[in-house]
Structure formats: structure tokens, C-alpha cells
């Protein structure tokens, strides 16, 4: 294979082979921009070197040939004593890894060629200074990166020299100083590397190339790749680039620039410039840089040329670019460019700006932003200008900014929140018993557990701010307080603020500002009234909506949630959980149902529940008028509505002979209903088949509510969903009964409201027999939370905190299958069910209602499989709409 490419041979699409830097240097070269000539050694050569410890055969000859051609072009040889060609040897992988790997400048200098360099630079004092400055930089960089000597040693020697001059600026040093420093640096090399600084230019170059290869596996590079999920085996390319000099005097300099503001997207002149400096000086902060706009006064011709080049690059890459440049005695050189990183806000603005400039299409604009970025823009945030006292830092588990009184139990959270007081639930770690408190709280703070802990996973699902694993905090739940480093004690009722985007925990109240993007989605702020960002979001959402094939529905149980979801763009309800309607005061009625000993008692209990249910459904139908509302019949095991077994046992035992007959009967019932594994027990369709009249009551409530809405002029569209079906026979039995009731209600009300009857697919058996189940189901909704649990055999509440952290570390999965749908396993079942369901019943409606409905990658999967809709929590709806659009462009 060919291991070396001249800059004139590559192009920007060869990043795999030439790395990002090399590919873009080639692209700029071919655009006719002023790039110092050079060549790139491929990542393939690097991979060979890393595998075998030696460079591949033929590489040396290829480098010889390219170096000879370069010397020919430049009219001087590498390190030629009287007029040396100098080069930089630069790392550059496919993905940018800022500052992670190595670069060595000024290769080719030695005791001879430094004199030649001074002579060709003009031979005066300034030229002498420049040449020796360049030489000491080479020894310094070479010593540090190639020979592995502690960089501090060189820095200290440099500082000492400056101190001796009574200055802290390198500008105070003259040629003699740098000459002395070269001597000192060489001495450091001798002492710490056990060898002389190599004076042979070609040896310098070859050693530097190997050092760049090796830097791929430097500790910090390995760590960075792991964090950024960059594959470990790509390797880096090496760019050998003719040196140009920004340190030749005040008419020279070096700088960095963006073609527009990476924080806002605004077009303008953004960057920094430093006169009489080389390479990293700009970002290293050795002297104060000047804003790029000042360059206009310093060197108007170079400035104008730079602006013209930046415009050209933007037009060419059709995106924001960042660049590195150097000016050598009034001559501009381009040293690097790439499509630049940007904030979430800038991503939206830039995408619309580029559409307006005619550079990209609306489809491309949709593709250039992500649901994750949109989610970021929707969270409230702490006012950046406000004072704050940080007391700890944990993991940024679920973004947002929350302020409230610290509380240490779920009950307290519910109690205070009920009085309208915002609270932060603080726990060592949370478990399912804390759910009510988590719902009530503004935010959740734990001292244990990682990003897949119960707290983190549930909080993300609810869109609630969460900081987890703040290990510096000593949480004492009994004493209702925690202690932070430095002896700070926070007791129940004290105000704290937590930042779920950074993991910071603050004492007291930090002011929070609302996201205007949410105000816009809520309809409180029109696009026209909004700022540039809101307008950009509005436009991109419009484009995404026009493009997407997937409908987006909401998981919502209350009219308020439904109304909010609708404002966010929901096209119906994909999952209304009816069990929430049995809590609170209605618990009593459920207890009566469970305790009923005769058919009559049971019917009385159901009759009492029915009107309440009917009212619930009327509220939902009104909020979603004209749109489908999928109502899932009761799913959880009944004992979830009864008192806790231990609590009740204690109560009965303490009361002794005075225990009420009702409590005794309750205790008996709780014992009877107790299950080893409720998740796989008496729940879902099984309840409907075992407890006579329960599903019938719910179906009647749905049908009557729909009839009432219709009579009032509304357009209710109920869909009745049966949970946890594993066999078509289960569904058939329930369906038969439901059809009978629908007919009865039609007769009794004189109103015919068609209601579809369908099922959730959340057991592997249901997926595998979907062809049969479709005989009795008018729609499928994939309940991917349970389907993930039952496919993997994971009990979500137990495994996430127990061992998911370890699994993630081991790479068994890259992300929790509860967060992003497992395409290979769970996804395969979905494919099978979708395909076989459609074969039986063409046109069967297919949706998904697990948490995955709002997860970007899972939305793309649903699009690919051809589902009709995704359903997710109201807050995730904009994200799902955007991702559904992105999946379609």
C-alpha cells in the first residue's frame, strides 16, 4: 500500500487514512490556499507500527522520495547548514483529540543550521534572536515529546532566564539569552535522557515521527478516547509540513480564528492573534493575545486575505470552520482547518443561517442538529451572573437546574411539595419506594451510584434534574442532614441548588432562568417574539415535522399532562396508565374490591369506581379532542394498592385483640396476594381474566365517557389497550367481553363511538406469536420497558444499581438497554412482531410506548422498522419530533 501522500494528493474525504488534519491540509492545498508544502504519513502506517513495533517495509523509501520532492520544491535541503529547510512533524487522527497527542516544530535545526537560518533571516540582531529562539523551542519540544523528559524542567530554566532579565515576557530575551538556553536545554537532555540531543536532521525527523505514532497510546489520549467513545484502534496520521515563522519579528505572528462565533453562531471576526510568536504560544497564554479584529490595524493586507479565505472555507465546507494561521513577514499561511465544534444554541442558529445563505438545504439543516442538543436547550439553567457557593460535585445524571429545600425522605418530599414548597430529595441512593418523592421533588441528589443508578435512570425518564454519586457528601437519612467537605452541614429544610448539567451542588439558592425554548413550545412565547435561537428552533422543527413519517404521541395520564403534550406537538396519547387513577382516596375503593367476599360486594366496589374513572377519561378526551387516546387497562399487581405487608403486620400485632376486623382481613389479603416476583406475577391481562368485572368496569367507563363527549359535540377517539398479553387466547377472551360492553353502551346511550382494541407487545412470546395475536388486535404497542426486562431477564429496579455500572465498564453494552433500545435482541423481536402482525392484518397500527420512544437512537430504529408512531413523556416530544425528522431526511 501507499503510505505517504503529498498534500496535493489528498482531500477532505480521506480522514480515515490521512487523519482530519492531513485531509483538510490537502483540501486547502487543492483549493489554492497558501498552505506550506508537505506530506502525510497514513494512519495505516501508524497501525502497523503500533502492532509490530516497527515501521512498515517501504515506508522509509516513500518518506525519502517525498522529502526529496519537498526539498526540490523549496530549493533547500532539510537542515541544510547555510539555508535550512525546517519542518514540523504533527499528529492528526480521524477525530480531533485536542492537545492529546504530539507535535514537534523547527525540525532540522542544529548548531550549524541555526547560523544559516539567522543569516537568511537577515543576519541582524533580530534575525539572530529569531534563529536561536526557534532552536531552543526545538530542543525543548523534542526533549519533552520525543525523549519523554518532564516539560517543567525546560519551563523552569526559561522562567529563570526571564527573571534574571527582570521581566516575565519572552520579548525581554535576546539572542544571547536563547543561545544560553539552548545550552541549558541540551544539558537537561543529556542528564535526563541519557543521550545527546540528535543533531542529524533526518534522525530528528524519524524519531519525531515515531514519537507521534507512540503518542496515540499516551495515557491521556487513551482516557480521552474512552470518554468520547472514539475507537482505540484507529491510529494517527503524521503530517510533515514546511515551517513558516510567526516569530520573525513584529511583522509576523500566529493566530486562531472561527468563521463565526461558536457560542452563538453570529457571523463576524472571531479569534486571537499574537505578534512575534510561534505555534502554541497563542493558546498557551504566554503573553496577552489581541482580538483578531486588531489584525486589521497591524497588517491590513494579511487581514483582508484571511477574511476572504475564511469566507471561501465556509462556502466550501458549508459549515462553521476553525482555523490556525501564521503570518511570516506580512505573508499569510494557513496551517489547519476543520469543521468546528459548537454549542447547542449555535448549532441551531448556524444551521438556519446557512440555509438563508443558500449553502445548505432545509433537510441538511435538520440533519445538522440533534435531539440531544434540543434537550439541552430545554432545561432551565442557573443564572451565570449570580453568586454561588459550591459544596460538592457529583455526576451530571440528568440535566437541569433545581433549587429547593433539602428533604431526606419520600414522605417529606410529598408533604412539602403538597404545600407548594420546592424540595430536593437527598438520599444515599434511591429505590422504587422513593418514586412518589422523586415525582414531587424539583431535583434529586444522591451520594452513591453512577449514571445508571436508579435515581439517574428514573430522573432522566421523568426529565427531572439529578446529580448522583456525590461521594463527598455524607448523607445521614435518620438525622435528616448531610455533611459536605469543610464541615458544611445541610439539615432538612435548608435550601440547596443542584446543576444536573455539570453535577455541581451549591449551598443556598442560585437564581434559575427559564429556557425560552420551552416557553416557545408551551405557546407562551411566539416564534416572532422569540430571540434568534427560538426562531431557529421554530424553523428547524417545522422542517423536521414536514419531513417525518413517524407520528409522535405522548405518555400522559392526566388532562394537564395531555394538554401540555398537545402544546408540545403530541398527535395523541400513546399510553395512558390507568393505575394512577386508583391511588389517593380511591385506594379505599380498591381495598373494598380486593376484600369483597361475594359477587355483590365486588360489584358494589366496581360500581363505586366506575363514575370516577369515567370522569378521568372525559378529561383526557377533552384535552386530546380529535386525536387518538390509547388507554391501557390496569396493569400492576393489586397488592401495590394495599398497605405494606410489614407495616400492616405490625399494626395488627400492636393492636392485639383490638385490631379491627377490616385490618385482619386486609392482612390476610395482603399475605394471600404476596408474590415472590410481582413483575412476572398476577398483573396485566391476567388480572382481567382472574378478577371478574374489573376490565369490564374500565371498558364501560371508557365507552360511556366517549359517548358523553360525543354528545357534548366533541370528537373522542379511544383506543383500548390490553397489557402483558402472551397468547392470543388471553386477548380473545378479554376482547369478546369488551366488544359486548361497547355494544351495550351503544344501546344505552344511543351513541356509537368506535373504539379500537389492541394490545401491548411486551413479552417475547407475544412478539414471537404476533401473527396469531394480530387476529384479535387492531393495534400493537411495543412496551419496550417490559420487553427489555423480559428479553434480557433483567429486573430493571434491581439490576441497574446492582451491576450495570460494571457491565458498562466491561463494554458488554455501551449504554443501558433501558435507555437506548437494544437493536440486536429486543429490536429483533420488534421486527418479527411488526412483520408478522402486518402479514395477518395489513394496516395494523404499530407504535412504541416505552421510555425508548423519546430516545434519539431508538426513534431512528422505530423509523427504520416502519412503526406508525412513537410515544414518549411530554417533555421529550420535541426531541422525538426532531429525531423522527432526522431519521427521514
Q: Which residues contact ligand ADP (rule: CB under 6 A)?
A: 36, 88, 90, 99, 103, 105, 241-244, 279-280, 324, 326, 335-336
Rg (CA), the chain: 34
Q: Tell the smallest beta-carbon distance from residue 752 to Mg ion (Å).
A: 31
Binding residue per annotation — 342? no
* E strand or H helix at 576: strand 573-577
3-class DSSP string for 414-473: HHHHHCCCCEEEEECCCCHHHHHHHHHCCEEEECCCCCCCHHHHHHHHHCCEEEECCCCC
Cross-strand pairs, 333:
326
Contact status: 91 vs Mg ion (CB under 5 A): no
Phi-psi sector, 662: left (phi>0), alpha (psi -120 to 50), beta = alpha
19 binds, among ligand ADP, Mg ion, none (CB under 5 to 8 A by kind): none
Which window, 41-49, 334-342, 808-816, 841-849, contacts Mg ion (CB under 5 A)? 334-342
571 binds, among ligand ADP, Mg ion, none (CB under 5 to 8 A by kind): none
Q: Tell the smallest beta-carbon distance from residue 43 to ligand ADP (Å).
A: 15
241 binds, among Mg ion, ligand ADP, none (CB under 5 to 8 A by kind): ligand ADP
302 binds, among Mg ion, ligand ADP, none (CB under 5 to 8 A by kind): none
Rounded CA separation 698/436 (Å): 25
**272 vs 415 by CB, closer to ligand ADP:** 272
Q: Return the active site residues.
A: 454, 849
| Contact in structure between 3 and 56 (CB atoms under 8 Å) | yes
Q: Tell the smallest beta-carbon distance from residue 709 to Mg ion (Å).
A: 27
Cα distance between the two ends of the chain = 37
Binding residue per annotation — 688? no
**4 vs 105 by CB, closer to Mg ion:** 105
For residue 526, how many other CB atoms are within 10 A of its CB?
12
Q: Can you give the length of the chain in residues?
A: 889
Rounded CA separation 709/477 (Å): 49
Contact status: 336 vs Mg ion (CB under 5 A): yes
**243 vs 721 by CB, closer to ligand ADP:** 243
**55 vs 212 by CB, closer to ligand ADP:** 212
Q: How many residues bind Mg ion (CB under 5 A)?
A: 4
786 binds, among ligand ADP, Mg ion, none (CB under 5 to 8 A by kind): Mg ion
Q: Tell the smallest beta-carbon distance from residue 523 to Mg ion (Å).
A: 32
Which window, 287-295, 551-559, 673-681, 776-784, contacts Mg ion (CB under 5 A)? 776-784
Q: Tell the smallest beta-carbon distance from residue 232 to ligand ADP (Å).
A: 19
Binding residue per annotation — 784? yes
**243 vs 445 by CB, closer to ligand ADP:** 243
Binding residue per annotation — 519? no
Rounded CA separation 879/857 (Å): 11
62 binds, among ligand ADP, Mg ion, none (CB under 5 to 8 A by kind): none
**Residue least distant from Mg ion (Cβ):** 786
Query: Distance of CA 580 to CAs 6, 620, 634, 842, Å?
Result: 68, 14, 9, 34
Q: Tell the smallest beta-carbon distance from residue 245 to ligand ADP (Å).
A: 7
503 binds, among ligand ADP, Mg ion, none (CB under 5 to 8 A by kind): none
Which window, 122-130, 295-303, 777-785, 789-797, contacts Mg ion (CB under 5 A)? 777-785
Rounded CA separation 456/397 (Å): 5
C-alpha cell at 260: 463565526
Q: 573-577 and 551-555: which strand pairing?
A: parallel
Q: In what order do the strands lie in the sheet with 495-499?
A: 389-393, 504-507, 495-499, 401-407, 423-427, 443-446, 465-468, 395-398
Query: Distance of CA 826 to CAs 180, 760, 829, 858, Å?
Result: 69, 14, 5, 11
Q: For 121, how many CA atoms within 13 A lie in the half-sphere containing its CB?
A: 28
Q: What is the dihedral of CA 870, 872, 876, 882, to 10 degrees?
A: 0
Q: Tell the smallest beta-carbon distance from residue 322 to Mg ion (Å).
A: 9
**228 vs 522 by CB, closer to ligand ADP:** 228
Q: Tell the smallest beta-carbon distance from residue 138 to Mg ion (Å).
A: 18
Measure the CA angle with vertex 165, ends 163 and 169; round to 5°. 70
Nearest to 397 by CA among 877, 882, 816: 816
DSSP alpha helices (H): ranges in 502-598?
516-522, 532-547, 559-567, 587-595
Q: Tell the smallest beta-carbon distance from residue 233 to ligand ADP (Å).
A: 20
Phi-psi sector, 627: left (phi>0), alpha (psi -120 to 50), beta = beta
**207 vs 462 by CB, closer to ligand ADP:** 207
473 binds, among Mg ion, ligand ADP, none (CB under 5 to 8 A by kind): none
Q: 103-107 and 869-872: which strand pairing?
A: unpaired
Nearest to 407 by CA among 480, 489, 487: 480
Q: Tell the smallest beta-carbon distance from residue 887 to Mg ion (Å).
A: 25
106 binds, among Mg ion, ligand ADP, none (CB under 5 to 8 A by kind): none
C-alpha cell at 459: 430522573
**285 vs 611 by CB, closer to Mg ion:** 285
Q: Which residue has the cell 526557534?
A: 134
88 binds, among ligand ADP, Mg ion, none (CB under 5 to 8 A by kind): ligand ADP
Selected binder of Mg ion within 19, 783, 853, 885 (CB under 5 A): 783
**138 vs 533 by CB, closer to Mg ion:** 138
**279 vs 628 by CB, closer to ligand ADP:** 279
Residue 769 dihedral angles phi and psi, to the nearest 5°: -115, 25
Q: 459-488: which residues touch Mg ion (CB under 5 A)?
A: none
C-alpha cell at 867: 412503526
Q: 711-770: which residues touch Mg ion (CB under 5 A)?
A: 762
DSSP alpha helices (H): ranges in 572-656?
587-595, 599-623, 645-655
Contacts of 7 (CB under 8 A, 6+ apart): 25, 26, 29, 35, 37, 38, 39, 40
Q: Tell the smallest beta-carbon distance from residue 627 to Mg ion (Å).
A: 23
Selected binder of Mg ion within 434, 591, 704, 786 (CB under 5 A): 786
392 exposed, middle or buried (CB, 10 Å; 0-12, 13-18, 19+)? buried
Which window, 7-15, 214-222, 707-715, 775-783, contacts Mg ion (CB under 5 A)? 775-783
Binding residue per annotation — 538? no
**328 vs 719 by CB, closer to ligand ADP:** 328
432 binds, among ligand ADP, Mg ion, none (CB under 5 to 8 A by kind): none
Percent helix / strand / coil, the chain, rounded to 5: 50, 20, 30
Binding residues for substrate: 577, 632, 762, 783-786
User: Which residues lie near Mg ion (CB under 5 A)?
Assistant: 336, 762, 783, 786
Binding residues: 577, 632, 762, 783-786
Binding residues for Mg(2+): 762, 786
Amino acid at each position: 500500500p501507499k503510505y505517504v501522500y503529498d498534500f496535493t494528493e489528498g482531500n477532505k474525504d480521506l480522514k480515515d487514512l490521512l487523519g482530519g488534519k492531513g485531509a483538510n491540509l490537502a483540501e486547502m492545498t487543492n483549493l489554492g490556499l497558501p498552505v506550506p508544502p508537505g506530506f502525510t504519513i497514513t494512519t495505516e502506517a501508524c497501525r502497523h507500527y503500533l502492532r509490530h513495533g516497527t515501521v512498515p517495509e517501504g515506508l522509509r523509501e516513500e518518506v525519502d522520495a517525498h522529502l526529496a520532492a519537498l526539498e526540490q520544491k523549496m530549493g533547500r535541503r532539510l537542515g541544510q547548514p547555510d539555508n535550512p529547510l525546517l519542518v514540523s512533524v504533527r499528529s492528526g487522527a480521524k477525530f480531533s483529540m485536542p492537545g492529546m497527542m504530539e507535535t514537534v516544530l523547527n525540525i532540522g535545526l542544529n548548531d550549524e543550521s541555526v547560523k544559516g537560518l539567522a543569516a537568511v533571516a537577515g543576519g541582524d540582531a533580530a534575525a539572530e534572536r529569531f534563529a536561536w529562539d526557534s532552536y531552543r523551542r526545538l530542543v525543548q519540544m523534542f526533549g519533552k515529546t520525543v525523549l519523554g523528559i518532564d516539560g517543567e524542567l525546560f519551563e523552569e530554566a526559561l522562567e529563570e532566564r526571564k527573571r534574571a532579565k527582570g521581566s516575565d515576557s519572552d520579548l525581554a530575551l535576546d539572542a544571547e539569552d536563547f543561545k544560553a538556553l539552548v545550552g541549558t536545554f541540551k544539558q537537561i537532555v543529556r542528564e535526563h535522557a541519557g543521550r545527546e540531543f540528535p543533531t542529524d536532521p533526518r534522525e530528528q525527523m524519524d524519531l519525531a515521527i515515531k514519537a507521534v505514532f507512540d503518542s496515540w497510546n499516551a495515557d491521556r489520549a487513551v482516557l480521552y478516547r474512552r470518554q468520547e467513545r472514539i475507537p482505540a484502534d484507529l491510529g494517527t496520521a503524521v503530517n510533515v509540513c514546511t515551517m513558516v515563522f510567526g516569530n520573525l519579528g513584529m511583522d509576523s505572528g500566529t493566530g486562531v480564528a472561527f468563521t463565526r462565533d461558536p457560542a452563538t453562531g453570529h457571523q463576524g471576526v472571531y479569534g486571537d492573534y499574537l505578534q512575534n510568536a510561534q505555534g502554541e504560544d497563542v493558546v498557551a497564554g504566554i503573553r496577552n493575545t489581541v482580538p483578531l479584529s486588531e489584525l486589521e490595524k497591524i497588517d491590513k493586507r494579511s487581514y483582508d486575505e484571511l477574511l476572504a479565505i475564511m469566507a471561501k472555507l465556509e462556502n466550501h465546507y458549508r459549515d462553521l470552520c476553525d482555523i490556525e494561521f501564521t503570518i511570516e513577514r506580512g505573508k499569510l499561511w494557513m496551517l489547519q482547518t476543520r469543521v468546528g465544534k459548537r454549542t447547542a444554541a449555535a448549532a441551531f442558529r448556524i444551521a438556519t443561517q446557512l440555509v438563508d445563505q443558500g449553502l445548505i438545504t432545509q433537510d441538511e439543516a435538520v440533519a445538522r442538529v440533534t435531539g440531544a442538543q434540543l434537550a439541552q436547550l430545554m432545561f432551565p439553567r442557573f443564572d451565570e451572573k449570580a453568586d454561588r457557593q459550591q459544596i460538592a460535585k457529583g455526576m451530571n445524571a440528568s440535566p437541569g437546574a433545581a433549587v429547593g429545600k433539602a428533604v431526606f425522605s419520600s414522605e417529606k418530599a410529598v408533604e412539602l411539595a403538597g404545600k407548594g414548597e420546592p424540595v430536593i430529595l437527598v438520599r444515599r441512593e434511591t429505590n422504587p419506594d422513593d418514586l412518589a418523592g422523586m415525582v414531587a421533588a424539583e431535583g434529586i441528589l444522591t451520594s452513591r451510584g453512577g449514571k445508571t443508578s436508579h435515581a439517574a435512570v428514573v430522573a432522566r425518564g421523568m426529565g427531572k434534574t439529578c446529580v448522583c454519586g456525590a461521594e463527598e457528601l455524607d448523607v445521614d437519612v435518620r438525622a435528616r442532614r448531610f455533611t459536605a467537605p469543610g464541615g458544611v452541614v445541610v439539615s432538612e429544610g435548608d435550601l440547596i441548588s443542584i446543576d444536573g448539567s455539570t453535577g455541581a451542588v451549591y449551598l443556598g439558592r442560585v437564581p434559575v432562568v427559564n429556557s425560552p425554548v420551552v416557553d416557545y413550545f408551551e405557546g407562551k412565547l411566539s416564534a416572532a417574539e422569540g430571540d434568534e435561537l427560538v426562531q431557529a428552533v421554530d424553523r428547524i422543527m417545522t422542517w423536521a415535522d414536514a419531513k417525518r413519517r413517524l407520528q409522535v404521541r405522548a405518555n400522559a395520564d392526566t388532562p394537564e399532562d395531555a394538554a401540555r403534550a398537545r402544546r408540545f406537538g403530541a398527535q395523541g396519547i400513546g399510553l395512558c396508565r390507568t393505575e394512577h387513577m386508583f391511588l389517593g382516596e380511591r385506594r379505599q375503593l380498591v381495598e373494598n374490591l380486593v376484600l369483597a367476599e361475594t359477587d355483590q360486594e365486588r360489584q358494589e366496589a366496581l360500581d363505586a369506581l366506575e363514575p370516577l374513572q369515567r370522569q378521568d377519561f372525559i378529561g383526557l378526551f377533552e384535552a386530546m379532542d380529535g386525536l387518538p387516546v390509547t388507554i391501557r387497562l390496569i396493569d400492576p399487581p393489586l397488592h401495590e394498592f394495599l398497605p405494606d405487608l410489614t407495616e400492616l403486620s405490625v399494626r395488627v400485632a400492636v393492636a392485639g385483640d383490638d385490631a379491627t376486623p377490616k385490618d385482619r382481613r386486609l392482612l390476610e389479603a395482603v399475605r394471600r396476594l404476596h408474590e415472590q416476583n410481582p413483575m412476572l406475577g398476577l398483573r396485566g391481562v391476567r388480572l382481567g381474566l382472574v378478577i371478574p368485572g374489573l376490565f369490564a368496569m374500565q371498558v364501560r367507563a371508557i365507552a360511556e365517557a366517549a359517548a358523553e363527549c360525543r354528545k357534548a359535540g366533541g370528537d373522542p377517539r379511544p383506543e383500548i389497550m390490553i397489557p402483558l398479553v402472551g397468547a392470543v387466547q388471553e386477548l380473545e377472551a378479554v376482547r369478546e367481553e369488551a366488544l359486548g360492553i361497547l355494544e351495550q353502551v351503544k344501546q344505552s346511550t344511543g351513541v356509537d363511538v368506535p373504539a379500537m382494541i389492541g394490545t401491548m407487545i411486551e413479552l417475547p412470546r407475544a412478539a414471537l406469536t404476533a401473527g396469531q395475536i394480530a387476529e384479535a388486535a387492531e393495534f400493537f404497542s411495543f412496551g419496550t420497558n417490559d420487553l427489555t426486562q423480559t428479553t434480557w431477564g433483567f429486573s430493571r429496579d434491581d439490576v441497574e444499581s446492582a451491576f450495570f455500572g460494571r457491565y458498562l465498564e466491561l463494554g458488554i453494552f455501551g449504554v443501558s438497554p433501558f435507555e437506548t433500545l437494544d437493536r440486536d435482541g429486543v429490536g429483533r423481536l420488534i421486527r418479527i412482531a411488526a412483520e408478522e402482525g402486518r402479514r395477518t392484518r395489513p394496516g395494523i397500527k404499530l407504535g412504541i410506548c416505552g421510555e425508548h420512544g423519546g430516545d434519539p437512537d431508538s426513534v431512528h430504529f422505530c423509523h427504520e422498522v416502519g412503526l406508525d408512531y412513537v410515544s414518549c413523556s411530554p417533555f421529550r416530544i420535541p426531541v422525538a419530533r426532531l429525531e423522527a425528522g432526522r431519521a427521514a431526511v
